[in-house]
Amino acid sequence: MADTHGRGGVTTYRPSNGAARAATSVPARWSARRRERLLQLAFLVPAVAYLLAFFGYPVAQNVVMAFQHYTTATFYTGEAPWIGLDNYAAVVGSAVFSKALLNTALFTLGSIAGQFVIGLAIAVFFRRQFPLSRVLRSLLLLPWLVPLIVSGAVWRWILDQDNGVLNRFLGALHLVADRPGWLTSTSLALIAVIAVNIWIGIPFNMTILYGGLQDIPEELYEAAAMDGATGWRAFRYVTWPLLRPVVNVVLVLGVVYTIKVLDIILGLTGGGPANATQTIATQSYQLSFQQFDFGQGAALGNILIVISLVFALFYLRASRGAVRG
C-alpha cells in the first residue's frame, strides 16, 4: 500500500469527476487507484512479456552461447562446455570474416545509396500532377510487398547465365560479347545481389520520401521561383533542407534493415560463389544451421548486433529529430 501511495503522483489516471472523488473515503480511493494502476499495467504486460521472451531472451542467450562450445551434441548430452573467448577468436580469425565484413559494408552502402537516390528521384517525379499518377505510384510498391524469397527466385532466373532473359536481351543488343555469369562469377555476384536489393528497396524509399515532400508547402517553391530558384536550385535550397529529417530516418532505417538481410542473399547465391556474397548475417546462419556450431554462430551474431547498435544510436537521434521537426 505504501508503495502504491509513493508512486501515486507518477500515475496518470486522474478522475475528472470531482464530485465522485469527493464522495469516496480516503482508503477506498487508494484501493481504487491501485486497481486502476494494475489494470493499466495489465494492458502492457502481455506485450512486455512477449518482447522479453522473443527479443530479450534470444539476445541474452546468444551472449551466453558465444562463450560455450554449443553444438548438436549439446542437444543430446545437455552439456555445453565453457570455452571463454574461443568462439570469438575462431570467428574473427577465420579467413571468411574480413571478406564477410567487407561484403556487409559494400552490400549495405551500395544498396542504400542506390535505393535512396533512385527512390528520391522517383518521389520528386511524382510531385508532378498528371493523370494516373496515384495508380502508378501505388503499383510501384509491388516489388517491396512480394516475399523476398519470391524476388530471389525470379531474379535468379532472370540473371541465369545461359537462359536468363537479361543475357538474352544484352546479347540481342550486342552489348556483351559472351554471357556474363551474374550470379556465378566471383567478380559480378556481389554487384548483382546489390542491384536486386536496390530494386526491392526503391518503393519503400520512394513512399517515405514522397510523404516528406508532400509536407513542404507549395508557397516556399513559389517564393523561391520569384527569387529565380527553379529546377535544381529549388531542389538544392528548398526541397533538400526541409526534407532532411525524413532523409535521416530513411537512411538510418535503411542501414539497420539492410545490414541484417539474409533472405535475398540466400535465395540468389547462398553466399557464394566462393564467399563472394557472404555477409556477417549469412555467415552466422552458415555457422549455426549448416555447420551446427551454434556457439560460433552466436559469436558472429553478437558482432552483428554491436554493429547494428552503433547505427541504432543514430536511428534514435534521427527519429527524435523527425518527431520534433
Partner 1 sequence: MTPAVASRVRTRRPWASTVIGVLLLAVMLFPVYWMANVSLQPSGSAAQTPWFPVQLSFAGYGVALSQQGGHLLTSLIVAAGSVLFSLLIATPAAYALAHFRVRGSTAVLFGILISQMIPGIVVANALYSAYNNLGLLNSIPGLILADSTAGIPFAILILRAFLGAIPTEVVEAARVDGAGQIRAFVSIVLPMSRNALITAALFTFLFTWSDFLFALTLTTTEDVRPVTLGLFQYIGTYVNDWSSVMATAVLASIPAVALLLVAQRYVTAGVTGGAVK
The nearest distance, CB 302 to partner 1, in angstroms, is 7
Q: Is the dihedral of CA 227, 229, 234, 236 positive or negative?
A: negative
Region near partner 1 per CB under 8 A, out of 11-19, 96-104, 173-181, 186-194: 11-19
Distance CA 82, CA 65 (A): 9
Strand partners, 82: 68
For cell 556457439, the residue is: 295
Using rule CB under 8 A, residue 173 touches partner 1: no
The nearest distance, CB 258 to partner 1, in angstroms, is 11
Instruction: Look at the chain and count its residues.
Output: 325
Closer residue to partner 1 (CB): 110 or 212: 212
Using rule CB under 8 A, residue 274 touches partner 1: no
How far out from the chain centre does Cα 117 lie? 18
Distance CA 283, CA 297 (A): 8
Closer residue to partner 1 (CB): 141 or 229: 141
Judged by CB under 8 A, the chain residues 76 through 115 that form the site for partner 1 are: none
Closer residue to partner 1 (CB): 180 or 199: 199
The nearest distance, CB 170 to partner 1, in angstroms, is 14
Using rule CB under 8 A, residue 133 touches partner 1: yes
Region near partner 1 per CB under 8 A, out of 25-33, 97-105, 187-195, 262-270: 262-270
Using rule CB under 8 A, residue 198 touches partner 1: no
Q: Which residues contact 186 (CB under 8 A, 6 or more apart)?
A: 273, 274, 276
Cβ atoms 74, 80 nearer than 8 A = yes
Using rule CB under 8 A, residue 155 touches partner 1: yes
Distance CA 322, CA 325 (A): 5
Q: Which one of residues 263, 272, 273, 321 is an interface residue with partner 1 (CB under 8 A)?
A: 263
